[in-house]
Amino acid sequence: MSMRLVVKYTKGEKVKYISHLDFMRLVQRALRRAEIPVAYSKGFNPHPRLSFASALAVGTTSEGEYLEIILEKEMEPETLCHRMNEKLPEGIRFVKAVAIDDKAPSLMSVIERGEYLIHISGMPDEGLDAVSVIEDFLNQTEIFTIKKTKKGERHVDIRPMIHSIDIIAQHQDGITIKALLSTGSKANLRPEQLIEALLDFANISYSSELLVQIHRLDLYLFEDGKWATPVEME
């Protein structure tokens, strides 16, 4: 009997520069090392049936990434995590796995929100009142940014894709915020775009001193009238 699983995993500091494509290959190889009975696609060039909920930008760490996998044979979700954790590189951990229905829609199509921790340092010390800047920023009814596409530039209103911004800590030369943003196939706001708009709004120019570190906390979908992470699905 085949089995479909959703896995929550982390991507830490030591592996943050791995690209999405390279990450997929890495997981495939770890699956072979761990001797997980993964199902393969039919056809000329069989590949393991594995898909990822949402691509993570190079340089971003995360404690809430998700992938789904189809196994040829049934296996205890805990066993899968345990065996994979023995064969994954340092910095990547399978945290939790749950079995889901074969007919459930793909993870990629149901994810709607992403929560991020964003640490900005190396900001010029100009007595900036971060609380009011963020308040004013959010009080705008629309926030237009320029999105570069293959066809040229496009103006996009990102305000509807920002659901909340909370200040977690303020430091001498920076700030740590938590942001809940639209993430997924319906609407997607990359945290980098948010930071660009926010710094622009606060009249802070980019310098080589300025350092932005982004960490994804989790991904959410909307189910039965409430927000839940993919491993909380029934």
Confirm or reject binding of residue 214 to other proteins (CB under 8 A). Answer: no
Written as six digits, the tokens of 95 are 């945290």
- Nearest distance, CB of residue 60 and other proteins, angstroms: 10
Confirm or reject binding of residue 18 to other proteins (CB under 8 A). Answer: yes
Is the distance from CB of 84 to CB of 4 less than 8 angstroms? Answer: no
Q: Which long-range contacts (CB under 8 A, 24 or more apart) does 53-57 make?
A: 53/107, 53/108, 53/111, 53/219, 53/230, 54/108, 54/111, 54/114, 54/183, 54/184, 54/219, 55/20, 56/11, 56/20, 56/23, 56/216, 57/190, 57/192, 57/214
Looking at 131, 187, 211, 228, which residue binds other proteins (CB under 8 A)? 211
Q: Which helix (H) or strand (E) holds 213?
A: strand 211-223
Confirm or reject binding of residue 7 to other proteins (CB under 8 A). Answer: no
Confirm or reject binding of residue 125 to other proteins (CB under 8 A). Answer: no
Question: Which CB atom, from 174 or from 230, has the smaller least distance to other proteins?
Answer: 174
Q: Which helix (H) or strand (E) holds 134?
A: helix 130-139
- Nearest distance, CB of residue 25 and other proteins, angstroms: 8
Confirm or reject binding of residue 14 to other proteins (CB under 8 A). Answer: yes
- Nearest distance, CB of residue 84 and other proteins, angstroms: 11
Instruction: Tell me the site size for other proteins, rule CB under 8 A.
Output: 28
**Continuous H helices in 13-76:** 20-33
Between strands 162-171 and 111-121, the pairing is unpaired
Question: x/- string (CB under 8 A) for other proteins, residues 153-192?
Answer: ----------------------------------------
Question: Which CB atom, from 33 or from 171, has the smaller least distance to other proteins?
Answer: 33
φ and ψ of 68, to 5 deg: -120, 155
Looking at 10, 26, 75, 156, which residue binds other proteins (CB under 8 A)? 26
Contact residues toward other proteins (CB under 8 A) are 14-15, 17-19, 22-23, 25-26, 28-33, 40, 44-46, 48, 58-59, 87-91, 211
